[in-house]
Amino acid sequence: MYENELTEIINGCRVNNQKSQHELFALFYNYAMSIAHRYAGTLHEAEEIVNDSFVKVFINIERFEYRWTFKSWLRKIIINTAIDAFRAKQIRPKTSDLENFFDLGFEIDIIESLTREEMLRHVALLPPAYRTVFNMFVVDEYSHEEIAEILGISIGSSKSNLSKARQKLKKLIQSDITERNRI
């Protein structure tokens, strides 16, 4: 793919050609799911995010400019849709369950040995607020200032959520390892 082929499909989408829309959907479905799955707790939620994102894409395709790459535009829309979904069921994180995470430590090899699916499973177990900040900061490379502005929280909260997300992940991985060793 491909510039020309993609341009043709996008042009088709601009005139509401359903075939083109279906082609675009099929072409980027995997990519879109890969992003959405990180933000969503479940696969079903990820599908919802992807579906909503594509609806936005088709409705706003007029606003897409060719000097952008379609992938990055789509990525932005998916992340924003995921954030909207997060906001819709946002619950303030409680800090009462803070534990002494800092004593947990393990080798880098253990993390490296994890597959993408295993990582996704751990990320999905994070509370939504932690998961969102973790994805935005670590994977999608937003700054804390941007995260604070987009999510409507303070910079301190963004930092705090990220820190808690890391610690929680470490704990989840640790228990996973323990479980594996026991078996």
Partner 1 sequence: MNERDLDNLFSKKLNEEGQYANLDSNWEKVKAKLAMAKNTDTTDAPVLPLPIPQSKDRKWLVPSLLAALMLLLASNGWLLWRLQPLLINQPQTNPSTIHLTDTIFETKVIYRIDTIYQRIVSMPTLGKIHDTESHFKSTPSVGAQKNNVDEVPSPVKAEKLPSTNPSSPNNSINKGIESIKKQEKKENIPIIHNEDNHSGITTDSTNAIHIRQESNATYDSLITTTPTDTLKWAKVPYDSLELKPTEQSQQIIKANAKKKIIDYFALGLQAGGATTVFSDLDMRPSFWIGLGGEVHFKKRWSLSTSFDNAFYHYKTTVRDPLLHVPSDPPMTENYKLKYIEGETSSLQIGLGLSYSLLNQTRFTPFVSMNYINRWILPYQAEFEFLNLATGEERSFSVEENSYHHDTWYAVGAGLSAQLTPKLEARLKSEIIYDHNHGQGSLTQFLLRGGIFFKF
171 belongs to the binding site for partner 1 (CB under 8 A): no
84 belongs to the binding site for partner 1 (CB under 8 A): yes
Binding mask 96-125 for partner 1 (x = CB under 8 A): --xxx-xx-xxxx--xx-xxxx-xx--x--
Q: Which residues contact 111 (CB under 8 A, 6 or more apart)?
A: 173
CA-CA distance, 107 to 2, in Å (whole number)?
42
Number of residues that bind partner 1 (CB under 8 A): 68
At its nearest, how many Å lie between partner 1 and the CB of residue 69?
A: 15
168 belongs to the binding site for partner 1 (CB under 8 A): no
Q: Nearer to partner 1 by C-beta: 8 or 99? A: 99
Three-state secondary structure string covering the chain: CCHHHHHHHHHHHHCCCHHHHHHHHHHHHHHHHHHHHHHCCCHHHHHHHHHHHHHHHHHCHHHCCCCCCHHHHHHHHHHHHHHHHHHHCCCCCCCCCCCCHHHCCCCHHHHHCCCHHHHHHHHHCCCHHHHHHHHHHHHCCCCHHHHHHHHCCCHHHHHHHHHHHHHHHHHHHHHHHHHHHHC
135 belongs to the binding site for partner 1 (CB under 8 A): yes
52 belongs to the binding site for partner 1 (CB under 8 A): yes
54 belongs to the binding site for partner 1 (CB under 8 A): yes
Site residues (CB under 8 A) for partner 1?
18, 21-22, 25-26, 29-31, 33-34, 37-38, 47, 50-52, 54-56, 58-60, 63, 76-77, 80, 83-84, 87, 92, 94-95, 98-100, 102-103, 105-108, 111-112, 114-117, 119-120, 123, 134-135, 137-139, 141, 150, 152, 154, 156-157, 159-161, 163, 166, 169-170
